[in-house]
Amino acid sequence: MEAAARKGRATASPRTSSPVAIATTAGPGFLEDWLSRIPLPKWALIAVAVAVAVLLLLFLVCIIRCCCGKKKPKKKERVSLQAVNSSTTASLVQPELEDLEQGTEQTGRGKLQYSLEYNFRVQELKVGIKQAAELKAMDSGGTSDPYVIVYLTSDLKKRYETKVYRKTLNPVFNESFIFQVLQTEVPESTLVMQIYDFNRFAKHDIIGEVRLPLASVSLQHVIEQWSDLVAASKVEEEQLGEICFSLRYVPSTGKLTVLILEAKKLKRMDSHGLSDPFVKVHLILNRKKWKKKTTSVKKNTLSPYFNEVFVFEVPFSQIQNVDVVVSVWDHDKVTKNEPIGKLFLGCRATGNQLRHWSDMLSNPRRPLAQWHSLQPPDVVDKALGLKPHLKLPLPHR
């Protein structure tokens, strides 16, 4: 019996040990079986596993940077400014010098006391320059040598100056000046009073100015007031006036017709505030004076009406080489006539003058009228570049 029992236990032990062996080898067998079902080679599976691991690593790095990278924002701002070029950086963080001047010195130039009185009977404006106070020091010693320039924008040629007062920031002038201003032109005028610092051996420096549009004040009574000086504006361009004329050219006959119609707002040339205007029309051929005609003189007016026509013979072969110069003059019986302003038309002209000339050539036999602003005579003469005057014979037709 005992032998039979030992034999039974001996035969049972292999049956009980077999499940343990199966449990230890089930895991690798299952993974290999699962991998064998994927239709990819073994090296491809390894590459996919490596790629997934790299992606997970990058994802973790991004999370760490987002959580810990929001530090020292001021340092980032400094780096961004350094990336910009120097000129742009300066404009972003540093104000312009002109802005500094206007902001800090606009109210630190001082003030001026003046008076205004208009005589409606004789149409005169009396300007009194009384005194200035708390002027800006322009000299190294902490003082200035001030004087005042007074003029109207409607007549830039007529300017008055006070005496120069040495080494003071509070000068007392007590000087008066008279301007001839027609009552109808008062609203269009601006009184300008500029205070300068006198320098014997250098350019005079402007301390400040007062601009008073006469349309903004009532001249029915005497005005006396103080005004703060402000930074001087740009110098006005002198208004010389405007002129209207028409051009007509007929190529078949070679006739150039210039009709001088009228002018307006001419510059005052006489002491009484008017002028005696007349018009000259010059033809310039190859930069040399060729032909000239003149209108009659209109007395004592700044808005003359002429309606005078001139006909010139200009062959079609020469029309491209011709300049038409229109100039307005002030007639004077005693002294030499003075030019008020000029302009020229032709293929070398620019702006409205060139357009008027081109329209004339594009519309033969048709008169075309247009207004033009007069320009300084020396500017026009320089643009024309005239050669020494030689009388030319008429070109052969």
Dihedrals phi, psi of 198, to nearest 5 degrees: -75, 135
With a cut of 50, list the residues of the chain below it in pLDDT. Answer: 1, 4-5, 7, 10-26, 70-106, 390-392, 396-397
DSSP code for 394: P
**How confident is the model over 231-290, as pLDDT tens digits?**
887 655 567 889 999 999 999 999 999 999 999 989 888 777 788 999 999 999 888 888
Query: What is the rounded CA–CA span in Å between residue 151 and residue 58?
Result: 79
What is the residue type of 146?
Answer: P
Which token pair is 156?
Answer: 């830039």
How far the first Cα of the chain sits from its last, in Å, is 160
Which residues pair with residue 129 across a beta bridge?
114, 175
Query: 84-133 pLDDT, tens per residue?
Result: 333 333 333 344 444 444 444 445 889 999 999 999 999 999 999 999 99
DSSP-assigned states of every residue in 293-342: EE-----S-SS-EEEEEEEEE--GGGGGGEEEEEEEEE--SSS--EEEEE
Angle, helices 86-93/73-82, rounded to nearest 10 degrees: 130
pLDDT score, position 203: 72
Q: How far is CA 178 from CA 132, 150, 160, 217, in A?
A: 20, 10, 9, 18
Phi then psi for residue 332, to 5 deg, are -140, 125
Residue 37 and residue 224: Cα distance in Å, rounded? 109
Q: Determine the pLDDT at residue 395.
A: 52
Look at residue 194 in the predicted model and tell me its pLDDT: 93
* 3-class SS of residue 176: strand
DSSP for 78-118? HHHHHTS-HHHHHHHHS--HHHHHHHHHTTSS-EEEEEEEE
Stated pTM of the model? 0.47
Contacts of 342 (CB under 8 A, 6+ apart): 325, 326, 327, 328, 374, 375, 376, 377, 380, 381
pLDDT of residue 388: 56
Beta bridge partners of 99: none
3-state secondary structure labels for all residues of 161-187:
ECCCCCCCCCCEEEEEEEEECCHHHHH
Task: Give dist(CA 365, CA 355) in Å, integer.
Answer: 17
Which CA distances in Å does 397 have to 240, 286, 365?
A: 39, 17, 19
| pLDDT at residue 234, rounded to an integer | 65
Indicate if the alpha-carbon torsion angle 232, 237, 240, 241 is positive or negative: negative
Q: Domains in the chain and their CATH numbers?
A: 110-229 (2.60.40.150), 242-384 (2.60.40.150)
State the amino acid at position 265 in one-letter form: K
